[in-house]
């Protein structure tokens, strides 16, 4: 079996440290081998170990629960030899990037594990969708990782004033989040991103055509990811990346590149939503009523901020939308919360009916 010192030497570039070694100790006593998952497909995965990269089957790790399957970024315990080889367990995750599945069931799908930085790539080749940026950031904050927004293809916005306005728009939608402008084609702005990615594990997120694979190649310093041109009409790509791949960076960190995400559904991300809309959460603390819905209640600090121009109406609408969506997802598995939502709907319906009858009374 590979020695502990050899494991440290081989796995340190992938993020192995004393804490992981301590968590792995019980599996080492059973003769298993530590490794990090660099790719998963069709119930199997590639695991980098001190003995090299091995192919292993994941059937021993609860394959029917989308939240408990082995995913890219996991640290795992694998058989030291044999054919086939198996992943016997994964170590407790420090962070996990999770979205809701596209099915009608209330399930989460884990996209990447043990991530320190969530890099949200947004293309400047098309009109900014700030609502989508906020959605990605909510999931990133909820994961436990530190988000950063990278505005790609900055070379397509040559006017510095226009570029500054775009950056400001994103910064308003991403409080507390670094916003970088990058042109991977010309290398502009890459130095800051390289420094960030060189510390810990980063995951690249974004829609198809956002330039993630180009960024990955720039960070790795080689053409490891295939790149296809985005459509001129809408800037969308064609899912160049089809699996999540973990790549070691020459700067010292590791990078997980992901396929373009069409659907980015929230999954129990109330804390993440609150982090994205910190200014609204702070304003809500000044409302007259603690359960203020920020609609027509008297003494609503949030509505006052909208009316005096302090808070954009778009931000409030996006906040409401994400909270409603998240509440609905959580309610699918929480009978008590479902009952509370129905009760609230009935209350609001009765209030609306009473208001209409009052208006009719004034008109008659």
Residue 340 has pLDDT above 70, yes or no: no
For residue 237, the model assigns a pLDDT of 46
Task: Please confirm whether the linkage preceding 330 is cis (ω < 30° from 0).
Answer: no
What is d(CA 333, CA 83) in angstroms, rounded to the nearest whole number? 40
User: Tell me: the pLDDT tens digits for 273-324?
Assistant: 989 999 999 999 999 988 888 888 899 999 999 999 999 999 999 999 998 8
For residue 225, the model assigns a pLDDT of 54
Share of the chain above pLDDT 90, in %: 49
Residue 196 has pLDDT above 50, yes or no: yes
**Alpha-carbon torsion (114, 183, 273, 328), positive or negative:** negative
What is d(CA 345, CA 361) in angstroms, rounded to the nearest whole number? 24
For residue 330, the model assigns a pLDDT of 66
For residue 228, the model assigns a pLDDT of 46
Segment 89-97 long-range contacts (CB within 8 Å, at least 24 positions apart): 89/27, 89/60, 89/61, 90/37, 90/61, 91/20, 91/23, 91/24, 92/23, 94/144, 95/143, 95/144, 95/145, 96/143, 96/144, 97/139, 97/140, 97/143, 97/145, 97/203, 97/205
Residue 263 banded pLDDT, cuts 50, 70, 90: low
| Average confidence score pLDDT of the chain | 82
Q: Which residue from 231, 256, 238 is spatially nearest to 246, judged by alpha carbons?
A: 256
For residue 244, the model assigns a pLDDT of 78
What is d(CA 74, CA 109) in angstroms, rounded to the nearest whole number? 14
For residue 342, the model assigns a pLDDT of 53
For residue 239, the model assigns a pLDDT of 42
* Strand duo 52-57 + 44-49: pairing: antiparallel
Higher pLDDT, 326 or 11: 11
- Cβ-count burial 225-244 (b if 16+ within 10 Å, e if not): bebeebeeeebbbeebbeeb
Neighbours of 120 (CB within 10 A): 26
Helix (H, G, I), strand (E, B) or coil at 144: coil
Residue 226 banded pLDDT, cuts 50, 70, 90: low
For residue 240, the model assigns a pLDDT of 47
Quick one: tokens of 319? 């906040």
Residue 331 banded pLDDT, cuts 50, 70, 90: low
* Locus of tokens 């969708």: 129
């Amino acid at each position: 079996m590979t020695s502990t010192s050899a494991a440290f030497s081989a796995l340190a570039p992938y993020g192995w440290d004393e804490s992981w070694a301590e968590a792995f100790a019980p599996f080492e006593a059973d003769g298993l081998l530590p490794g990090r998952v660099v790719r998963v497909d069709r119930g199997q995965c590639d695991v980098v170990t001190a003995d090299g990269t091995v192919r292993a089957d994941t059937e021993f790790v609860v394959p029917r629960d989308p939240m408990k399957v082995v995913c890219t970024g996991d640290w795992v315990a694998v058989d030291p030899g044999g054919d086939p080889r198996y992943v016997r367990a994964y170590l407790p995750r420090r962070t996990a990037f999770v979205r809701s599945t596209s099915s009608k069931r209330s399930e989460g799908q884990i996209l990447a594990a043990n991530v320190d930085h969530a890099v949200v790539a947004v293309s400047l080749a098309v009109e900014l969708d700030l609502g989508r940026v906020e959605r990605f950031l909510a999931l990133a904050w909820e994961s436990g990782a530190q988000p950063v927004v990278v505005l790609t293809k900055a070379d397509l916005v040559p006017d510095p004033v226009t570029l500054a306005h775009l950056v400001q728009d994103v910064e308003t939608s991403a409080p507390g989040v670094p916003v970088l402008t990058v042109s991977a084609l010309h290398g502009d702005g890459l130095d800051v991103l390289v420094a960030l990615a060189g510390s810990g594990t980063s995951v690249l997120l974004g829609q198809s055509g956002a330039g993630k694979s180009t960024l990955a190649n720039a960070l790795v310093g080689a053409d490891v990811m295939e790149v296809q041109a985005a459509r001129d009409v809408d800037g969308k790509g064609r899912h160049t990346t089809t699996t999540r791949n973990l790549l070691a960076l020459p700067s010292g960190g590791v990078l997980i590149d992901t396929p373009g995400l069409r659907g980015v559904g929230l999954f129990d991300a109330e804390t993440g939503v609150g982090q994205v809309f910190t200014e609204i959460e702070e304003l809500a603390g000044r409302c007259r009523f603690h359960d203020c819905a920020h609609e027509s209640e008297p003494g609503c600090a949030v509505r006052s901020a909208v009316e005096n121009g302090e808070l954009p109406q778009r931000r409030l609408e996006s906040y409401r939308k994400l909270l409603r969506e998240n509440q609905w997802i959580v309610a699918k598995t929480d009978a008590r919360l479902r009952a509370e939502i129905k009760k609230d709907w009935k209350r609001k319906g009765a209030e609306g009916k009473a208001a209409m009858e009052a208006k009719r009374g004034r008109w008659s």
